[in-house]
Structure 1
């Protein structure tokens, strides 16, 4: 399957932290004068710059994203631990907390909850006696009660041995996990649905997930894109990202959001909208 994409950004992002949110904002993080500088570009093209007095290498930044109340959520790793800081609109630190060991992925949802998925190390670690696979935090670091794993067990869904990726769509959180390849949809209180992917040969460690009418877009090793059809009994399709002329892009990194797929290439950043309708 070939996916034609439109170019939206010409500048090189090499060595930068790069992230997109569900509102279409582009976040580019760089080191500048001993601190971190984040340039935020709206879909309209308007830009602003936020300076954070931190010396974290760009490759250790997990997430930097604006919340709905104009705060900024900063998730990073330090000495193999995930840490979270929340900053006000003018860059002043408001809260800070650590995440459990074994954190593997994170997602800031529309309700301003920070969801954190755990790897097998975190799920089966001594500090997690209940064996939870996904945790939900408020932005002041309070852990919310969820019963996702208990409910998965009650409906005889495969147990979560490793949480690969989290996504949000229409108010639900989606978790891509192993055993085999399984996707569960839930909110803060209930598991809504579970999909067990029939193509057992297509397995591995994934790092991103997005949902559209076509099915489930999954990313492996940051640059390999595939589509699990909405009818999960059908084979998984490998996807090639191309420019508007149909030439395959040399991809450094892929970014998936609730509304779009972004390809970061040597020649710039390309985008394909996946909200509504069918992708041809």
Structure 2
């Protein structure tokens, strides 16, 4: 078992909050109040901003809230079994609203301001998706962009996507973790660049996050269970325990993986471990 020593960066946080960190290390913490959701945005500079959303939903129904590269705010959520996107200007005015298809399992806002939506088996094999696309790409005004990821995977005889688990971005490429078995594909808007088929079948299951480092592929299950797929995917997957500076295992409530770091919310605060550049040592 691998132990990951993490540093505490913030004191206690309310249990059940929405928690997200983007690749620019902005941290988003959402809490429900009487009128909707209040998102606190913590910047690396130390600035704290608050953004209010007038939607009566639970924090667990927020799929994504993130600031775009041109300072707009992208809010993806589910309500009454529908998946919706709202895009707000920097001053909080609603700019666009559009719906996503049923069966959305994960979303990613990339550096080019595309919103990628991965579909579960429910969405892939839905009657409203006759081409059985597993991954959709939208502009922030709701226009669907043409992609051929599934077709290209088929052309190179990669396993078909039966369920899209998680999406990540690293160095200009999008990475998709999917089933059948455990497969990771790397691609840009036009081409599939590489596919990894994980040989360790004992760890097959439903995952909800993915991050890439020199060590390999970090994967998260049920928001709090962390594992590492070695860069040599023929090796066994390692179970990882998040620990505080004293080496004691943290009681993790939520994990968030970015291209730079791993974040953990525990009952004693928020912890962080950098994974960019060198190795994440035991």
**TM category, shorter:** over 0.9
How far does residue 186 in structure 1 lie from its aligned partner after superposition?
0.4
Q: Which moved more, 1:101-110 or 1:11-20?
A: 11-20
How far does residue 230 in structure 1 lie from its aligned partner after superposition?
0.3
How far does residue 18 in structure 1 lie from its aligned partner after superposition?
1.2
Do 2:106 and 2:119's aligned partners in 1 also have CA atoms closer than 8 Å? Answer: yes
Do 1:13 and 1:28's aligned partners in 2 also have CA atoms closer than 8 Å? Answer: no
CA distance in 2 between partners of 1:250 and 1:15 (Å): 14
Q: Following superposition of structure 1 onto structure 2, how do residues 140-219 of structure 1 map, counting pairs within 5 Å?
A: 140-219=141-220
Do 1:50 and 1:90's aligned partners in 2 also have CA atoms closer than 8 Å? Answer: no
How far does residue 54 in structure 1 lie from its aligned partner after superposition?
2.0
How far does residue 33 in structure 1 lie from its aligned partner after superposition?
4.4
CA distance in 2 between partners of 1:27 and 1:131 (Å): 33
Do 2:12 and 2:267's aligned partners in 1 also have CA atoms closer than 8 Å? Answer: no
Alignment correspondent of 1:131: 132
CA distance in 1 between partners of 2:231 and 2:158 (Å): 19
CA distance in 2 between partners of 1:16 and 1:222 (Å): 13
Do 2:207 and 2:222's aligned partners in 1 also have CA atoms closer than 8 Å? Answer: yes
For residues 164-211 of structure 1, give each alpha carbon's deviation from its aligned partner in whole angstroms, at most 9, with x where no partner exists.
000000000000000100000001000000000010121110000000
Name the TM-score, length of structure 2 as normaliser: 0.97
CA distance in 1 between partners of 2:107 and 2:157 (Å): 26
Q: Give ranges in structure 1 of 5+ residues lacking alignment.
A: none
Do 2:177 and 2:184's aligned partners in 1 also have CA atoms closer than 8 Å? Answer: yes
Do 1:114 and 1:139's aligned partners in 2 also have CA atoms closer than 8 Å? Answer: yes
How far does residue 117 in structure 1 lie from its aligned partner after superposition?
0.3
How far does residue 158 in structure 1 lie from its aligned partner after superposition?
0.3
Do 1:149 and 1:159's aligned partners in 2 also have CA atoms closer than 8 Å? Answer: yes
Runs of 4+ in 1 over 6 A off after TM superposition: none
Name the TM-score, length of structure 1 as normaliser: 0.98
CA distance in 2 between partners of 1:131 and 1:30 (Å): 36
Alignment correspondent of 1:87: 88
Do 1:38 and 1:49's aligned partners in 2 also have CA atoms closer than 8 Å? Answer: yes
How far does residue 126 in structure 1 lie from its aligned partner after superposition?
0.7
CA distance in 2 between partners of 1:103 and 1:118 (Å): 5
Secondary structure of 2:239 counterpart: strand
CA distance in 1 between partners of 2:20 and 2:14 (Å): 11
Do 1:210 and 1:256's aligned partners in 2 also have CA atoms closer than 8 Å? Answer: yes
How far does residue 118 in structure 1 lie from its aligned partner after superposition?
0.4
Secondary structure of 1:122 counterpart: helix
For residues 240-280 of structure 1, give each alpha carbon's deviation from its aligned partner in whole angstroms, at most 9, with x where no partner exists.
00001111000001111111100110000000011111111
Do 1:253 and 1:264's aligned partners in 2 also have CA atoms closer than 8 Å? Answer: yes
CA distance in 2 between partners of 1:155 and 1:204 (Å): 24
CA distance in 1 between partners of 2:159 and 2:227 (Å): 22
Do 2:74 and 2:87's aligned partners in 1 also have CA atoms closer than 8 Å? Answer: yes
Do 2:107 and 2:116's aligned partners in 1 also have CA atoms closer than 8 Å? Answer: yes
